[in-house]
């Protein structure tokens, strides 16, 4: 209840400041205005007016508002995500060094080196599981055992390094034996969890961006007519940004959003055309 009250107070305060600025501009004769004309053009076709769409006049660009939200919302970045994984320290270090958490695909296989295979426990286990029969035919079973590390650490270290050196040479001479390794790593691959987290965070960010834009930076709204025209009147001099927020203008398979800046001098009527040229485009498929 307290949070809702604070949000309401913020909205009222923001609206009061905006109205005060517009009233002052109107009374002082310094008020300006913006006339917009919005057209969209499909990939194949002629430009058409954007009819019946609400445009929002903001005192800050939507891209800057998004950066503000991303900074203040405490989002989990890649390094933090990797640090929380229940995998070996060696694998975490490999992921951070390569900036990669998807342990699958041809690009992942290309990133692997014989040193990686020997040095990262998960890679070594997967490789040994996949190539066990071939390895045993070429490389003798390791002579060291876990108990030897305490009883005779020098001998353990020497035999362990000898086995690893033989393994490095074998992998270097048989790089094709790495193919299909990602299948053995399916259980430890954190990429599905990361993509899910990214989607959840992105949804949260977009919701907050819309909320912040309309409660802190909204100056006015305008609805386009059948010709795709609309206007913002009684504006104080300054910098503004025109956006259609989360409602895209459709042009065939394209979804157009605007975040266009414009300066309004004192007592001037500014005109701007919104089109594919100054829009941010996303395809219908990518928007899903």
pLDDT digits (tens, 9 = 90+) for 3-62: 334 444 444 444 454 545 555 455 556 889 999 999 999 888 889 999 999 999 999 999
pLDDT confidence of residue 32: 94
37/112 same-domain check: no
> What is the number of structural domains in the chain?
2
185/98 same-domain check: yes
pLDDT confidence of residue 155: 77
Q: What is the mean pLDDT of residues 77-100?
A: 95
Q: What is the mean pLDDT of residues 253-270?
A: 94
pLDDT digits (tens, 9 = 90+) for 119-174: 999 999 999 888 876 666 677 666 666 666 667 778 778 888 888 898 898 889 98
pLDDT at 275 over 70: yes
Q: Return the number of other C-beta atoms located less than 10 Å from residue 155's C-beta.
A: 13
Biggest CA–CA distance in the chain, Å, is 92
Domain with 279 in it: what CATH number?
Answer: 2.60.40.10
Q: Which of 285, 281, 288 is nearest to 41 (CA)?
A: 281
Q: What is the dihedral of CA 263, 269, 275, 279, to 10 degrees?
A: 20
Which residue did the predictor score with more confidence, 238 or 5? 238
- The Cα-based distances of 252 to 226, 233, 283 in angstroms read 19, 32, 9
Which residue did the predictor score with more confidence, 3 or 182? 182
Residue 202 domain flag: no
171/233 same-domain check: no
Residue 200 domain flag: no
Residue 72 domain flag: no
Q: Which of 45, 61, 53, 60 is nearest to 280 (CA)?
A: 61
DSSP conformation letters of the chain: -HHHHHHHHHHHHHHHHHHHHHHHHHHHT--EEEEEEEEE--SSS--EE--S-EEEEESS-HHHHHHHHHHHTT---HHHHHHTSSS-HHHHHHHHHHT-----SHHHHHH--HHHHHHSHHHHHHHHHHHHHHHHHHSPPP---TTHHHH-HHHHHHHHHHHHHHHHHHHHHTGGGGTTHHHHTTTT--HHHHHHHHHHHHHHHHHHHHHHHHHHSEEEEEE--TTSEEEEEEEPSEEEEEE-TT-PEEETTEEEE-EEEEEE-TT-EEEEEE-GGGSEEEEHHHH-
| Token couple for 1 | 């209840």
> How far is 94 from 89, CA to CA, in rounded Å?
9
Residue 68 domain flag: no
pLDDT confidence of residue 18: 52
* Range of the structural domain that residue 47 is part of: 2-59+217-287
**Lowest pLDDT segment from 100-104, 109-113, 252-256, 274-278:** 252-256
Average pLDDT, the chain: 86
Q: Using pLDDT thresholds of 50, 70 and 90, give the confidence band for residue 257.
A: very high
226/147 same-domain check: no
Residue 233 domain flag: yes
108/28 same-domain check: no
Place of tokens 């609309």: 230
Q: What angle do CA 9, 10, 11 make, to 5 degrees?
A: 90
Residue 282 domain flag: yes
Residue 123 domain flag: yes
Q: Based on the number of CB atoms within 10 Å of its own CB, is 99 exposed (0-12), middle (13-18) or buried (19 or more)?
A: exposed
Residue 76 domain flag: no
């Amino acid at each position: 209840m307290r949070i809702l009250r604070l949000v309401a107070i913020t909205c009222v305060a923001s609206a009061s400041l905006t109205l005060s600025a517009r009233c002052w501009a109107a009374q002082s004769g310094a008020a300006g205005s913006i006339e917009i004309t919005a057209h969209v053009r499909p990939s194949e076709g002629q430009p058409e007016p954007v009819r019946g769409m609400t445009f929002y006049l903001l005192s800050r660009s939507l891209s800057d508002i998004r950066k503000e939200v991303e900074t203040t919302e405490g989002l989990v970045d890649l390094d933090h995500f990797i640090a929380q994984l229940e995998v070996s320290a060696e694998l975490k270090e490999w992921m951070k060094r390569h900036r990669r958490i998807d342990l699958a695909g041809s690009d992942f296989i290309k990133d692997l080196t014989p040193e990686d295979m020997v040095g990262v426990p998960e890679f070594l286990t997967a490789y040994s599981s996949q190539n066990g029969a071939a390895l045993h035919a070429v490389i003798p079973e390791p002579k060291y055992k876990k108990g030897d590390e305490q009883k005779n650490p020098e001998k353990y270290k020497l035999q362990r390094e000898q086995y690893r050196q033989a393994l490095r040479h074998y992998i270097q001479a048989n790089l094709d034996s790495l193919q299909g390794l990602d299948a053995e790593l399916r259980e430890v691959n954190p990429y599905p969890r990361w993509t899910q987290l990214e989607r959840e965070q992105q949804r949260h960010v977009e919701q907050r961006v819309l909320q912040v834009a309309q409660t802190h930076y909204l100056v006015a709204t305008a609805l386009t007519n059948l010709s795709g025209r609309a206007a913002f009147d009684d504006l104080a001099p300054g910098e503004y940004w025109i956006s259609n927020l989360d409602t895209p203008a459709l042009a065939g398979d394209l979804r157009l959003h605007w975040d266009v800046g414009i300066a309004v001098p004192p007592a001037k009527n500014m005109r701007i055309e919104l089109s594919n040229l100054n829009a941010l485009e996303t395809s219908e498929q990518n928007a899903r």
